[in-house]
Amino acid sequence: MRRIALVCWLILAACAEPPSGGWDDLPGSATPTAQPTARAPMAALTPARARPTATVLPTATAQPTATASPLLDSILGVANSPQDDDPLGWLPRPQPFGGRQETEFGVQIAGCEQPIQPALKLAGEVGFVWIKQQVRWGDMTDASGRVNWECIDRVVSAAHRAGFKVMLSVTTAPAWMRAARTPYGPPDDLTAWGEFIAALVERYRGSFHALEAWNEPNLSAEWDEYIDPVKYRALLAVAYGVVKYLDPSVMVISAGLAPTAEGGRWAHMDDRDFLRRMIEADGLRYADCLGAHANGPPGEGELGAVLERYWAVMAEAGELRPVCFTEFGYSVPVQGRAPKGFEWVMAHTPEGQAEALARYVEQARLSARVKLAVVFNLNYDDGVTPNSIAALSRADYSSPALARLKATLR
């Protein structure tokens, strides 16, 4: 019950200060404020249906019962509150950028699709300190709200025992929680999101070290038809509040944005515009580290270019955070082919992959602005896909970048 109260209060706190009576004296409802941007599906929202109470089991568990109230409208109104009034001021504040940042390096693994132990062994041999695993909430949750934790349990346990720091990147709401028909959007009711984050933090407390709140919300395919930095800021604020209440030691990273500055390839919002609007809505108040992606294409999507333009946006706003590249990589063709939309990788070679990744590592280090940089990826092997073209190890491929990174990281 305290978990439910926590999530509800974090959402309601967007419009009011915490109650003087503490956590046991919570208000029952809040008056929703106007949404910053009108959108037809929002008007039709109804309270979330109840879900069965969670029990901690090694496999499928249920999410806790949701509290019905007009929560989404309230949290979307956060950006309309005065900027000098911090309604979540009782939360730990992110540390401001300290002037020089040491960089740690990690790699994303396909922990739910490939054997875990060989991946961890290879990651350790190369010299990575962090393991990133994506947590696909929608894929783990059935229509009744029951969550199957089996894969994430295995990955977190094995990586923790092997001495890695663990980042969990949470994305993709269950389809039945959202009206939008895009494949990977957020839930209509952010209470469900907060409940899932709370369950995750409680389950893996002490075994994971960073949480990335969503993936590339500036792409319609990863969000919904209406890309909304203010709504993303609300989702980030709920994640930050839940994490910091339950385990303040966990680093909260804002979602890595798709590098789309010169765009035109996907339905998207320019990553600079998205970041500016998120910062204007006080979004960095709820991030220890600014998430970024640098997976190409050449030029706009390379690590140095992404870092330069994000730092410029933060400096312009007077709000600096260290940068966490939750994905950076260099893709090459798979069996002489590239997926649709990624034809530019046909000019790339394995030798170029090795050179580029070593260069990106040095750029991150020398910048003194990057806290964490995670190579995307180690071992996805699912055909001619955006995942496999970036992999360093597949059944038919072992990248010379592995040896080059081992020399660079040691």
If pLDDT is split at 50, 70 and 90, which confidence band does 12 have?
A: low
Helix or strand or coil: residue 334? Answer: strand
Question: Which element (helix H / strand E) includes 355?
Answer: helix 350-367
Contact call for residues 192 and 4 (beta carbons, < 8 A): no
Instruction: Evaluate the CA torsion angle 227, 230, 233, 235 in order and state its sign.
Output: negative
pLDDT at 309: 96
| Ordered alpha helix ranges (H), 135-228 | 137-140, 150-161, 190-204
Q: Model confidence over 143-202: pLDDT tens digits?
A: 999 999 999 999 999 999 999 999 999 999 999 999 988 889 999 999 999 999 999 999
Q: What is the pLDDT of residues 242-299, one digit of tens each?
A: 999 999 999 999 999 999 865 544 588 999 999 999 999 999 999 999 999 999 999 9
| The residue type at 192 | A
Determine which helix (DSSP H) or strand (DSSP E) holds 348, and give its type and residue range. Answer: none
CA dist., res. 249 & res. 95, Å (int)? 12
Q: Determine how many CB atoms are found less than 10 A away from the CB of residue 327.
A: 24
Q: Is the pLDDT of residue 137 over 90?
A: yes
Record the pTM.
0.83
Give the C-alpha separation, 105 to 142, whole Å.
34
Which tokens sit at 169? 């990147």
- Average pLDDT on 380-384 reads 97
pLDDT of residue 197: 97
pLDDT at 108 over 50: yes
Question: Percentage of the chain surpassing pLDDT 70?
Answer: 77
Give the pLDDT of residue 255. 98
pLDDT of residue 146: 96
> Of 321, 319, 320, 283, which is closest to residue 75 (Cα–Cα)?
283
What confidence score (pLDDT) does residue 32 get? 29
Give the tens place of pLDDT for each residue, 364-381.
999 999 999 999 999 999
- What does the pLDDT read at residue 85? 58
Give the position of tokens 């890309």: 227
Q: Which two tokens stand for residue 316?
A: 């312009």
382 with 113: CB under 8 angstroms?
yes
Question: How far apart are the C-alpha atoms of 155 and 394, rounded to whole Å?
Answer: 19
- Superfamily per CATH, domain 104-409: Glycosidases (3.20.20.80)
Whole-number Å distance between alpha carbons of 353 and 404? 10
Name the 3-class secondary structure at 371: strand
The string of pLDDT tens digits covering residues 329-342 is 999 999 999 999 99
Range 221-238 average pLDDT: 93
Q: Tell me: pLDDT of 231 over 70.
A: yes
Specify the pLDDT at position 324.
Answer: 98
Cβ-contact 405, 393 below 8 angstroms: no
Residue 132, pLDDT above cutoff 80:
yes
CA 68, CA 220: separation in Å to the nearest integer? 28
Which pLDDT value is given to residue 96? 82
- pLDDT score for 95: 86
CA 219 to chain centre: 13
pLDDT score for 29 = 30
* Alpha carbon 335 to chain centroid, angstroms: 31
Where do the structural domains in the chain lie, given as residue ranges? 1-36+67-81, 104-409
pLDDT tens digits, 27-37: 333 332 333 33
Pairing of strands 251-254, 210-213: parallel
